[in-house]
Amino acid sequence: MDVLYMPDGKMWEISGTIPAAATVVLDGFTLYPPCDERWKAFAEFGPLAVYERTLTEAETLERCRAARVVFTNKVTLTGETIAALPEVKYIGVLATGTNIVDLQAAAARGMTVTNIPAYSTASVAQTAIALLLAVTNRVEHYSTAVRTGRWSNCRDFTFRDYPLTELAGKNFAVIGFGHTGRATAAIASALGMKVKVFTSKPQSSLPEGYEKLELDDLFREADVLSFHCPLTAETRGMLNAGRLAMMKPEAIVINTSRGPVIDEQALADALNEGRIAAAGLDVLSTEPPRPDNPLLTARNCVITPHIAWASEEARERLMEIALANLRAWESGTPQNEV
């Protein structure tokens, strides 16, 4: 259900004619349903239209034509779309990544574009370690074994059919040492792991005990390789067949950053051939994935559906920052501009 909120607190379902709105949210479902009252605060500067989903460029143009402010999470605003929306002055990205907006076109039009930095740092770090533990401890596997009677039918006090791995003393290799990479490394360090980092930051800026390595050295030394970098021309396909060949056969790959940093066919081949021990992934190159994505059937590959960012706490934090961004812009002092 799509909902229109008014500054006086009234709200009603949008049906038929697209209403004139000062603020438009193109894909509210990514955070909360349009009828969730958390959206109401965004109507303080004028009528607010919250759409569950916007599926086509034609819908985007129709819904935003009279808008002054547009919020989007995954709906793309191309240069052509931006050029066709002369009333829009502000674009708020309801995420950290801004690749869905043609920033050059927005700047040429004098638009302000903001994003939401660091809202999900703790949640993503937690998920990265959860994926690692899913691989090393196989809690779900063993819980299922117990529930299906395999322990009950065992002669011994313990039942084991899959090896368990202790992480203490192993090398935790981090690619990208921003907020999330740093937070994940801290958890790994607390587990007794030795943190190795690929970063542009100098060694002197790293926490005590952390070691900065060149990229290929990082691949060679990693027992666990965890990606926390943005998707750029340099990081696209960073983990490829050549670098997988450098890695230890017992190494584990974790990715909570962006799917395309990994050559998925190369990783699937390495997993299936036993040249890499396991992978834990929260992101894929295409989302939702195509049924023929090779990682969906790869051995020892745990995949979650891009949920690392989506804890209740992180989503509420995102909403708070998005509203603060809008208020700052309305007051003439924009924050979190990109």
Active centre residues (catalytic): 258, 287, 306
Give the CA distances from residue 130 to residues 124, 255, 263, 272, in Å, rounded to whole numbers and listed in that order: 10, 12, 23, 22
End-to-end Cα, the chain, rounded Å = 31
Task: Evaluate whether 81 touches 67 at the Cβ level (below 8 Å).
Answer: no
Q: What is the DSSP string of 125-157?
A: HHHHHHHHHHHHH-HHHHHHHHHTTTTTT-SSS
Closest CA to 30 of 125, 134, 120: 120
Q: How far apart are CA 227 and CA 229, in angstroms?
A: 6
Task: Evaluate whether 64 touches 91 at the Cβ level (below 8 Å).
Answer: no
DSSP 224: E
**CA triple 313-304-37, angle to 5 deg:** 30
Closest CA to 25 of 70, 87, 63: 70
Task: Evaluate whether 261 touches 227 at the Cβ level (below 8 Å).
Answer: yes
The owner of tokens 């939702």 is: 288
